[in-house]
Structure 1
Amino acid sequence: MKRSILLHPDPRLKKLCPAVDDLSDSLRQLADDMLETMYAAPGIGLAAPQVGEMNRLIVLDCVKPDEAAPRPLIMFNPEIVASSDETNVYEEGCLSIPEHYADVTRPKEVEVAWLDRDGKAQQEVFDGLWATCVQHEIDHLDGKLFIDYLKPLRRQLITRKMQKLKRERARP
């Protein structure tokens, strides 16, 4: 089931998400719904708080449609266990901040540990766009948005534009 994506500024996007203690069928369904929502948006990553669910859960798929078969990943309790000193700069966007993009500097490679949909422990090293995306989504679980990496004036400008967009969408 496709879900609604919260728009910044929404207080739920700034909250710390608690760890998932037990993988229930409802959490697995949430993960499936999030993948459907992400693909429909279209996006390459989505975190549970973006659909109003305060769980440490992210989904991502950074395979471009013309490249190869999709590679959807579901990560419960994702954690960065190592990161490179070398950095990359990517122009990031966010489904909760539509039509706004900015260059963000992050570690080029990260090693991430997580539980998969079946509760099995997984660990993998990501680089390039995958590394940027997984870091961006884990930030969401800690109440951090990509605009938090920007200078205050630019961040305030984007926030004001988002407030205006939300008011416009709320009108009948």
Structure 2
Amino acid sequence: MAIRIIVKDPDPVLREKALTVTKFNANLHKLLDDMADTMYDAEGVGLAAPQIGILKRVIVMDCGEEHGGLIEMVNPEIVSASGEQDGPEGCLSIPGIRGDVKRPMNVVAKGQDRNGNPIEVTGTELLARCVFHEIDHLNGILFTDLASKTYTSEEEEEFE
């Protein structure tokens, strides 16, 4: 397990579409472990493989125990979404910037676990936001592309 370097915007890898994972092996397991370590070290709630320069459809998320703790998804896809929420987002690849983004309130996503077995994740609120945010990374989309407005961390503190 290792802490990887998080790629920062405007690195072009963040705008690329990630490739489907076809090999479920020790290399994938190490990638997932390293991604979780990197996410926790950076105090994030989600991380997509392109954020560490790897164009594979792999995400990790941890929105707290109330949302299931650490979730690993390989080749994730949205199955359904409903409702709406509008709130702040940040990104480990865009430090110091936040933005207001509309996202669905509820999500069902399917994918595979680290061994290639099918999994399904159902989430609301923060977990739903995180699932959409991380899958967007796999498609070269950043939250700033979707934000109705962006602001610095300092400006956010002034709002509160």
Give the TM-score normalised by structure 1.
0.83
Query: Does the residue aligned with 2:111 lie in a helix, a strand or coil?
Result: strand
Instruction: Identify the residue that residue 38 of structure 1 maps to in structure 2.
Output: 39
Tell me, in whole angstroms, the C-alpha distance in 2 between the residues paired with 1:93 and 1:100: 6
Structure 1 residues 68 and 89, CA gap change in structure 2 (3 angstroms): closer
Q: What letter matches 1:42 in structure 2?
A: E
Cα contact 1:90–1:132 (8 A) shared by 2: no
Query: Does the residue aligned with 2:90 lie in a helix, a strand or coil?
Result: strand
Instruction: Identify the residue that residue 77 of structure 1 maps to in structure 2.
Output: 75
Tell me, in whole angstroms, the C-alpha distance in 2 between the residues paired with 1:139 and 1:97: 14
1:124-145 per-residue CA deviation (whole Å, 9 max, x = no partner) reads: 2211100000100000000000
1:5-56 per-residue CA deviation (whole Å, 9 max, x = no partner) reads: 0000010000001110121211110010000000000100000000000000
Instruction: Identify the residue that residue 110 of structure 1 maps to in structure 2.
Output: 107
Cα contact 2:16–2:139 (8 A) shared by 1: yes
Give the TM-score normalised by structure 2.
0.89
* Runs of 4+ deviating beyond 2 Å: 67-70
Query: Does the residue aligned with 1:94 lie in a helix, a strand or coil?
Result: coil
Instruction: Identify the residue that residue 161 of structure 1 maps to in structure 2.
Output: none
Instruction: Identify the residue that residue 134 of structure 1 maps to in structure 2.
Output: 131
Structure 2: which 5+ residue stretches go unaligned?
153-160
1:102-121 per-residue CA deviation (whole Å, 9 max, x = no partner) reads: 11001111110010122210
Tell me, in whole angstroms, the C-alpha distance in 2 between the residues paired with 1:18 and 1:10: 18
Tell me, in whole angstroms, the C-alpha distance in 1 between the residues paired with 2:28 and 2:134: 17
Tell me, in whole angstroms, the C-alpha distance in 1 between the residues paired with 2:31 and 2:121: 23
Tell me, in whole angstroms, the C-alpha distance in 2 between the residues paired with 1:47 and 1:130: 14
Tell me, in whole angstroms, the C-alpha distance in 2 between the residues paired with 1:113 and 1:33: 22
Q: Give the 5 Å matches for 1:1-172.
A: 1-63=2-64, 71-84=69-82, 86-150=83-147
**What is the total number of aligned residue pairs between the two structures?**
151
Cα contact 1:75–1:116 (8 A) shared by 2: yes
Largest Rg, 1 or 2: 1
Structure 1: which 5+ residue stretches go unaligned?
159-172
Task: Give the C-alpha shift of residue 69 in structure 1.
Answer: 10
Task: Give the C-alpha shift of residue 90 in structure 1.
Answer: 2.1
Instruction: Identify the residue that residue 155 of structure 2 maps to in structure 1.
Output: none
Query: Does the residue aligned with 1:97 lie in a helix, a strand or coil?
Result: coil
Identity over aligned residues, as a percent? Answer: 44
Cα contact 2:67–2:123 (8 A) shared by 1: no
Task: Give the C-alpha shift of residue 68 in structure 1.
Answer: 6.7
Tell me, in whole angstroms, the C-alpha distance in 2 between the residues paired with 1:70 and 1:96: 24
Tell me, in whole angstroms, the C-alpha distance in 1 between the residues paired with 2:51 and 2:71: 17
Q: What letter matches 1:77 in structure 2?
A: N
